[in-house]
Structure 1
Amino acid sequence: MNLLFVRSLLYAVAMAILPMPIQAATLSVKLQQQVRAATFEVVISKANKDPLSYEKPLPMELVPFAERNDRYWSIGTAVAIGANTFVTASHVISVGAGSQLGAPALRDGNGKVYMIDRILKFSLPEDYVVFSVIDPPTTARALPVSKTLAIDVPVFAVGNALGEGVVIRDGLLTSLTPEARDGRWKWLRFSAAASPGNSGGPLLDSRGRVVGIVIAKSPNENLNYALPIERVLGGSEKAALIEIREPFGLPILQDTTVMDFKSAFPLPASYAEFSKQFLALNLQYYESQVAQLLAEQSDKIFPKGETASFFAGTFKRYDPTLVTQKDDKSWELLDTSNDHETKLPGNGRVWNTLGPRMTLFRVQYPEASSDVDRYSDSKGFMDILAKGLRLSRLVGAQSIRITSLGDATQATTLRDTYQRVWQVRSWSFGFVDLQVIVFALPTPDGYVGMAAQSGPAQISVVTQQMKLLADYFFVSYTGTLPQWRTYLARNELRAGAFDQTSLDFDYAKGLNFHTKRLRLDLPNDIVRLGDKTVLNVRMAYLPDGDKLSWEPVSVRVSQEVDEKTSILASRQPKPAEGATKELQSRWDQMLTRTGDFAGGPRHSDDFRELWFRTVVGPTVADKPASLYEVTYSTEEALLPRQLDERRARVLNSISILEH
């Protein structure tokens, strides 16, 4: 037998017994046309005008043609399941609640847009919403539905994949997975590809019937989620159902809580009324979580809990931070070493932390800048803050720096528990449905505060959390004497702690700084005064019975910023039991006037700087609750006798009122 013939015969037999390739499941052309006619993009309008300014013209040619010429953002998919009855995922619709861009809408394959009219059904836990539209399309026939499900049969995921139009992709129905909480329904798991934009689209069987609504893409595997259509068909027509159970925490606390939140509001409702009710419940949910967590932590929440070291500490910092729990549950100042600083001309500065959710900031205006409109000019304020926040817009592959957000879209004030007056403002990004929310606290040299970004549905929640954090905000004050005079004259914006504080100075005579605990009457020849003289006032939270007060506890007057000649009077409370050994040792030295507080003259190795450090206040026998450190340093060429005389005059300029 011919060898070539044998080989050919064996090859033919082998091919005959090998499994043939599986053909991809498809829908007929007619079915595909029906599906496309019944499937819509969910869109939201783009902003008509960009309020932002940029470092250079935007290279919009880098954005795909269709995207840059589209008047709408594509945010999901919806499908017709009845006469003027459409369904999508609830997260597609609810994310736009409160949007500055208006209500979501549907768009068909010809580009015609239909505004949402009424919400007919809504379930947050099952992630679906049924609604009608104004002037519904006449060409779209509702797709048939099927409650019959079988594993390993072909299914088709239909949706506005990646915002580039409706596409149909095939796969298999792989499993029915119980919902995580109580197994009240089973999610459809399927292998058909799903991309951003597929949410809310139909999952079809091989006959083009809707068996589910695409809900989510699996982050780790190509097994995606859909809700069985029978859950939608059997859903309540009388109430929107809200149900959430998840861990909740606050940035200031280590522990979390788990809240089981359930609520509802009447349906049907207009989209505007739905949004109003949804946002109200969203805020109610947040406030309920906060109340539950604070109740659970009532014996640990500041100023209770482990606070001995905190109240005995003397925190010498002027960049802001928060009072927070450490890992061991003791209260301390938040570590803000993950920070960034942007220098401004004229010794100005923008400092900010680099937190993922919220940033703390400090703005120090250039020395020569006028403060006439400083606290009323929202655009000017944000223009400077933006230099530090380094806001940018991604256009194509290029990141373009944002130089201005324009005027604030909303502005109000908040007086916190400690009578600090916050300017609360928000700015719209315009090119995306986000806002920047800023809580800014005026200071003599500029501002300190908090800034966060939020989508429309979370703005009220983010704002409420920032209000809560305002009571845990830690800041001290610094500025030149002219800056202080202007700040204290602004009765409507200065912190309430300074209502009982007076500052008076005459460059030729001296300075008088009085609080309810301390008087500093400083002659000009001890520290020469001028426009560049810096006054630092350190603030502290002080236990006051069952409450806390927030007061000035330290004052430093420096001839200039470099502190070549300065005087410091700083309150040191007696450490409570549980304070660190370092704090207890410091207190013992102050009480006995020994060690660092012996009061004798000191000098640097090169004798250029002279100083002394001593204590003002009661003695050991009086068992004082607090003492005051007094430090004076200078680079004047003084003889020992002259320094002793200076010491006597410094101590004579300080009066302690609380003993």
Structure 2
Amino acid sequence: MLIVSGWVRNVFSTISGFGLAALLLLGSAQRAHAASPDPSLVAKIDAATFEVVIPREANDPLTYEKPLPLDLLPYQERTDKYFSVGTAFALGHNHYVTAGHVLLVAVGDLTGPPALRDASGHVYAIDKIEKFSLQQDFVMFSLKEQPSGNAALETNTKPALNSLVYAVGNALGTGVVIRDGLYTSDTPEDENGRWKWMRFSAAASPGNSGGPLLDQDGKVIGVVLMKSPNENLNYALPIGEVLNAPDDKATIDKRVSYQLDVMEDDQNGTFKAEFPLPASYADFNATYLKLFYRNNEDQLKALLQQQAGELFPHGAGSNHILHDAPEVSLFPELIVRDRSDQWVYTGHELSRVPLTGNGYVANGYVGHNFLVHLRRPDDMAAATFYDDPKRMMGLLLKTGYWARPIGPEKIKITSMGDPTTHTTYTDSWKRHWKVSVWSLPYINAQMVVFALPVPDGYAIMLRMAPSVVTHDSIIDLQALTAFLNVDYGGTLAQWKEFLAEPSLLPDVLKDARIDFDYGKRFSYQSGNIAFDYPSTLQSVTPDNMLEVGVGYYPNHGALTLQTAVVQIRMNATDPDRISIKRHIAPSADLDDDFKQAWGKLAHKQHPYDGAPYNDGDEMDIATVIDPPGATEPSELYTAFYATQGTHSPDDMKAKLATLTQQLKVKSSD
């Protein structure tokens, strides 16, 4: 089944429907049987059989920690300018056949079009694509230059069961080999039984895909395609299906399934299209990709429409998120539907790599997505940092997570250079993402980075996938932004620079007024919250940590991101803190824990009674702010103050009074 998912679990399953086994014919090389064709026939087979190759990268855009030790690679690999991906064979004058998935390995390739290579090493460029079927997995094409001799194989469309056959192909990329076995049976294709696969016992190895299956007289009876995962039987498409296919069109009719990482539900559909042939490889490549991308977009759209009534902020568990007591998390979190069909936060920091100047890269993952919080070093000015994707990527690479394997060594990548594309994307919550794509030609892959500016750096979603699915990664990540929760934090010095760049600000911070005079006072105003306090309550310094947590609140019939919590700490490690939190009355469907918590707020019970209390090594005090004019408010605000050590009750109450004296909230009722 063709899986067209957010990450596309395997690029080859995406483009062929058979998975890696289809492309490489999984299974180890096996010793050939004793039977072999006549030597004169072997010469003819060799002359008519070719490698399918794609160019290796000519200009590597990457920079490494040291020169690549290419001498560790086998001689053929380090000297070959091409990468062998399969086998093709000549079938009549200037007609060549290979597996469809072999050709599609090169579709969207970063290094150049596919070609054929003969035993002497001569490379022949593809001219026209003449026949193509995605579902039957074959392609017929012509070459711009004809090999000398014009060797071609004859065909047999009615082979006998249990007869001797030869599987021919570029096994393991080491040259064409011929191995024998039996034509054992036929089996209908899985979807609708529209044709029958041939099954045979001749050994096949990675690189055999697209090669001919021959009868004992050297006539083509099928195209070798894939290996059974459970037994030593391989599959071929009968050559009659190729010969009888229409000459004037490419056909695509394949069952597909699309999945998004926030839910386990699949969107099942069909990738179905036709387009005229013959066409140049470049035109075929462009047309196929256009249809492939459009199908992915349609599948994603259908999935979201199918699930619309149950997607967050609807569906089970949504109210837990909408009404829960707000907490600040500077690490990005995805809202996903778990196996119990509840929407929950997921994605936590799993590791942290320090950078110079108090910077760091915090990492985690959800599904196929890397999640990252990048704190920029103190010496990187916001004015240049946010407009320099190369610098951002350079910091990510300092984690050492990305390296190029060369033999037994892994050589760290230190720079990817400038991105191939750099754009912006505004999500449904009116946040402005910087979207960059970098190429890694040596593995024919691209890295897609969605970076959301925050005061101390970036909140990032990242994928690295084969180049053919870069578009798929982009549309998936666009969809996932609707489910990604990002709070905003940084030092006062960082906030000052961040707020000076209006293009970086999400709607939730567009009206933010954050003012401070070091050593004297701090004031904050955004959304429904406004307050200020003198430095006698808490020292006001450039290292103060200001964190603004966001939540989902109704606004004229729609949910918008609004301020949920404001917290100021002495610095990144000091527990002394001030916070103002917004609390929402629980909906009727929520459990008693929510209702009891709301009851404490509504009745100003401990810990919201304005009485100080000890909490480990610190003292805390909190109170509820009476909303203006509401007799039964649907939301309440709390003011909280914490400091280290032991302090008198009167001193703590005076601190709380200083905080609440200039605290004003607006009612949303």
Q: Is the structural similarity TM-score above 0.5?
A: yes
Verify: 1:609 aligned to 2:618, yes or no: yes
Q: Report the equivalent of 2:264.
A: 254
Q: Secondary structure of 1:174's match?
A: strand
Structure 1, 430-439 or 135-144: larger mean CA deviation = 135-144
Q: How does 1:507-518 map to 2 (within 5 A)?
A: 507-518=518-529
CA distance in 1, matches of 2:392, 2:385: 7
For 2:489, the equivalent position in structure 1 comes to 478
Q: Residue type matched to 1:257 in 2?
A: Q
**Structure 2 gap segments, 5+ residues each:** 1-31
Contact 1:308–1:577 (Cα < 8 Å) also in 2 = no
Quick check: 2:400–2:412 contact (8 Å CA) kept in 1? no
Q: Does 1:627 align with 2:639?
A: no
The answer to whether structure 1 residue 353 and structure 2 residue 353 are counterparts is: no
Q: Offset at 1:541?
A: 2.2
2:334 aligns to what?
A: 322
The yes-or-no answer on 1:643 pairing with 2:644 is no
Structure 1 unaligned regions, length at least 5: 1-21
1:13 maps to what in 2?
A: none
> Matched residues in 1 for 2:490 and 2:627: separation?
31
Matches of 1:151 and 1:68 in 2, distance apart?
43
Alignment of 1:583-598 (within 5 A): 583-598=594-609
**Amino acid corresponding to residue 648 of structure 2 in structure 1:** L
TM-superposition CA deviations, 1:522-563 (whole Å, max 9, x none): 222212111111100001222335422112221111121123
- CA change 1:140–1:351 in 2 (3 A) is farther
Residues 1:29 and 2:22 are matched in the alignment: no
Residue pair 2:628, 2:666 contacting (<8 A) in 1 also: no
Correspondence 1:567 to 2:585 = no
Shift of 1:40: 0.9
Q: Find the counterpart in structure 1 of residue 343 from structure 2.
A: 331
What is the CA deviation profile of residues 87-141 of structure 1, one whole-angstrom value per residue up to 9, with x for unaligned ones?
1111111222222211111111111111112111111000011111212223231
Identity among equivalent positions (%) equals 38
Secondary structure at the counterpart of residue 634 of structure 1: strand
Summarize deviations over 1:148-197 as a string: whole Å, max 9, x none.
12222111111111111111111111111110111111111111111111
Please state how far the C-alpha of 1:496 moved relative to its aligned partner.
Answer: 2.6
CA contact 2:346–2:366 (8 Å) conserved in 1: no
Structure 1 Cα separation of the partners of residues 366 and 412 of structure 2: 19
Distance 1:340 1:556, change over 3 A: same
Aligned residues: 635
Q: Partners in 1 of 2:339 and 2:503 — Cα distance? A: 39
1:429 to 440, 453, 458: 440
- Contact 2:86 2:209 (C-alpha < 8 Å) held by counterparts: yes
Q: Check conservation: 1:418, 1:471, Cα contact below 8 A.
A: yes
Alignment CA distance shift 1:82-1:315 (3 Å): farther
C-alpha deviation, 1:472, in angstroms: 1.3
Q: Do residues 383 (structure 1) and 394 (structure 2) align?
A: yes
Task: State the secondary structure of the residue aligned to 1:500.
Answer: coil
Whole-Å separation in 2 of the counterparts to 1:278 and 1:23: 40
**2:95 maps to which residue?**
85
Q: In 2, Cα distance between the equivalents of 1:397 and 1:151?
A: 46
Deviation at 1:493, TM superposition (A): 2.2
Q: Please, which of 372, 375, 385 is the counterpart of residue 374 of structure 1?
A: 385
Paired letter, 1:56? K
1:275 to 2:293 alignment: no
Equivalent residue of 1:532, what SS? coil
Contact 1:190 1:224 in 2 (8 A): yes
Alignment of 1:226-265 (within 5 A): 226-265=236-275
Match of 1:4 in 2: none
CA 1:226–1:410 in structure 2 vs 1: closer, same or farther (change >3 Å)?
same
Who is 1:551 aligned against? 562
TM-score after normalising by structure 1:
0.93
1:120-269 residue pairs with structure 2 within 5 A? 120-269=130-279
Corresponding residue of 2:468: 457
Question: Aligned partners of 1:43, 1:267: CA distance in 2, in Å?
Answer: 23
The alignment status of 1:578 with 2:589, answered yes or no, reads yes
1:613-632: CA deviation from partner (whole Å, max 9, x where unpaired): 22113499822111112110
Q: Larger Rg: 1 or 2? A: 1
Structure 1 residues 486 and 415: alpha-carbon distance in aligned structure 2, compared to 1, 3 A threshold: same
Report Cα offsets for 1:623-651 as digits up to 9, x if no partner: 21111121101237743322222211111
Shift of 1:199: 1.0
Q: Tell me which moved more, 65-74 or 446-455.
A: 446-455
CA contact (8 A) 1:309 1:578 kept: no
Task: Give the match's secondary structure for 1:569.
Answer: strand
CA contact (8 A) 1:352 1:388 kept: no
Extract structure 1 runs of 4+ deviating beyond 4 A.
Answer: none
How far 1:514 sits from its partner (Å)? Answer: 1.0
Task: Find the aligned partners of 1:136 and 1:577 in 2 and give their Cα distance.
Answer: 77
